[in-house]
Amino acid sequence: MNDGRSRFRDHLYHDEGLGFWLDTSRVQAPEGFLSALEPRLASAYAAMNALEGGSIANADENRMVGHYWLRAPDLAPDAAITEAITTTLARIHAFASDVHAARVRPARATKFQHLLVIGIGGSALGPELVAAALGSPADRMRVWFFDNTDPDGFDRVLDAIGDGLSATLCVVISKSGGTKETRNGMLEAESAYTRLGLDFAKHAVAVTGEGSELDRYAVSRRFLERFPMWDWVGGRTSELSAVGLLPAALQGLDINGLLEGARRMDVLTRRNVTQTNPAALLAAAWLAETGGVGKKDMVFLPYKDRLELFSRYAQQLVMESLGKELDRKGTAVFQGIAVYGNKGSTDQHAYVQQLRDGVDNAFVTFIEVLRDRTPQRLTIEVEKDVTSGDYLSGFLQGTRAALSERGRGSMTITLETLDAVSLGALIALYERAVGLYAELVDINGYHQPGVEAGKKAAKDVIDLQKRVWRVLESRAGEALTLEEITAAALGDDAETVFWILRHLSANPGRRIERVKVAQGATGLSSSPLDWSFRMIAAS
């Protein structure tokens, strides 16, 4: 080993049992960084220990943080939680097996063959990641997602499912049970079943908190089944609860493998000797690269098509957890780390130019999977003794070297194979690394106070729209100016009224039309804000 590369030997973490490696030799950190960090890491270990023991780790919301118990129910601080986890897992297995065996079956088809998951954010990103990473055409059910409130998006998915809708099982997922995107997606799906003369409830399952709006709806409509969400599991760490396990089990994926991988990674990341704890090594590397103040973006380059969605999953986990205004003392710190990336070598063509030569505001996390393809598949040579997979590995190494040459930092996670166990381990690794990092910078990594502001502002827009609608309806046929409508809707925000009317009037079915003001004698065209609007009287 030559001198320049002895860093590699000293910074290569390996766990043989999991087939997992972490190389931090290319992280840009000063000599002695890790030992200087040790006291803060020791506090972080203690905090994570308390969290796993059932402390109120999410103080703002007065909640425990229990996602680690999901894969080790005996660690839960009380027997009722252990029991709830175990029972739910058994019910998931039983329900999936009933669906696969057509003991639970649709009204007008012999068997459920499609799975439509309706959820957003923490209720979609995990299931999407797992479906893409582990799924194949041989799955027990084909999986689709409604993960937005885009009407055209709903139509596209329904068009793709086509006649298969009568053999489609819907899993509606909302922890709070009141997420509007999910509520809308459910109503749009329900309407599609109704148009086919089918009872939606006989094709629907809910995953939600007990007693939530969705839960009550599921009870009153008699959904096929309901699975619980618990207040001690955050949306962004819910993949190994019913949120992620139910869709994966229905798809026919190995959910026991996911849980086992997470449990085994938890054993490694529970260690309080930094050199032996890969999550601590990751969190420390992030701190070194970002200065602990988010000064560099975290770019994921997994060299594996199946992991293309990992960056989106990590985006939520990292950004929603760490992107905080205040630390735990209440000081304004404006924390966070921006996350992006898709896959290598594809992304090399998009932006390694900038990462290497341009603005120095990113560090890369490479993810390598050693096993190129399933062993039963034929491997061809693209040159003598060289395969496509050798190129994939070569591009990763080449990019790592090209960045390193320029003092741009990176770290590399290597997995022997990509399967349920290693994916579960990867999920658990990042959950713990984010938890540790939040401790290192002393923020609450488990709440999301800033999300409410946008929802509240959106609700205000919808409320204003309802008032605008009533104004136009009450004076149907009459062209009204923005100012007139705004005043009559008891508002003072003509800009928002304009946005609302511009949108409504672009959709013919809504019966609201733009009335353009004639150009004045000056010949200057009028501003769209001088348009009037009117509701066409119902025919």
User: Smallest distance, Å, CB 425 to a copy of itself?
Assistant: 16
Q: Which of 14, 295, 455, 466 is catalytic?
A: 455
354 in contact with a copy of itself (CB under 8 A): yes
Hey, which residues between 369 and 398 contact a copy of itself (CB under 8 A)?
A: 370-375, 377-380, 382-395, 397-398
User: Smallest distance, Å, CB 73 to a copy of itself?
Assistant: 28
147 in contact with a copy of itself (CB under 8 A): yes
Which secondary structure element, helix H or strand E, spans residue 175, and what is its range? none
- Residue 35 tokens read as 């030992």
User: Smallest distance, Å, CB 232 to a copy of itself?
Assistant: 20
The burial of 135, by beta-carbon neighbours within 10 Å (0-12 exposed, 13-18 middle, 19 or more buried), is given as: middle
Has 38 been annotated as catalytic? no
Single residue of 105, 270, 356, 475 touching a copy of itself by CB under 8 A: 356
> How far is the C-alpha of 486 from the C-alpha of 465, rounded, in Å?
10
Contacts with a copy of itself by CB under 8 A: the residue count is: 153
Single residue of 304, 423, 428, 471 touching a copy of itself by CB under 8 A: 304
312 in contact with a copy of itself (CB under 8 A): yes
> How far is the C-alpha of 535 from the C-alpha of 539, rounded, in Å?
12
Query: What is the CB-side half-sphere exposure of residue 86 using CA atoms within 13 A?
Result: 11
335 in contact with a copy of itself (CB under 8 A): yes
**Phi, psi (rounded to 5 degrees) for 380:** -100, 160
Nearer to a copy of itself, 46 or 160 (CB): 160
Has 455 been annotated as catalytic? yes
Nearer to a copy of itself, 98 or 390 (CB): 390
Hey, which residues between 460 and 479 contact a copy of itself (CB under 8 A)?
A: 460-462, 465-466, 469
294 in contact with a copy of itself (CB under 8 A): yes
Contact 480, 515 (CB under 8 A): no
162 in contact with a copy of itself (CB under 8 A): yes
60 in contact with a copy of itself (CB under 8 A): no
The one segment of 165-173, 211-219, 267-275, 505-513 that binds a copy of itself by CB under 8 A: 505-513
Hey, which residues between 421 and 450 contact a copy of itself (CB under 8 A)?
A: 448-450
The one segment of 85-93, 97-105, 117-125, 280-288 that binds a copy of itself by CB under 8 A: 117-125
Query: What is the CB-side half-sphere exposure of residue 386 using CA atoms within 13 A?
Result: 8
Has 320 been annotated as catalytic? yes
- DSSP symbols for 129-168: HHHHHH--TTSSSEEEEE-S--HHHHHHHHHHHGGGGGGE
520 in contact with a copy of itself (CB under 8 A): no
503 in contact with a copy of itself (CB under 8 A): yes
Q: What is the largest CA-CA distance in the chain?
A: 84
Single residue of 35, 528, 536, 537 touching a copy of itself by CB under 8 A: 528
Q: Which of 349, 384, 405, 452 is catalytic?
A: 349
C-alpha torsion sign, points 68, 74, 79, 82: positive
- CA distances (Å), origin 97, targets 101, 141, 204: 6, 12, 16
235 in contact with a copy of itself (CB under 8 A): yes
Angle, helices 420-440 vs 125-134, to 10°: value is: 140
Nearer to a copy of itself, 72 or 461 (CB): 461
- CA distances (Å), origin 501, targets 96, 367, 512, 531: 46, 47, 8, 10
515 in contact with a copy of itself (CB under 8 A): no
Q: What is the CA radius of gyration of the chain?
A: 26
204 in contact with a copy of itself (CB under 8 A): no
> How far is the C-alpha of 80 from the C-alpha of 418, rounded, in Å?
34
Q: Catalogue the active-site residues.
A: 320, 349, 455
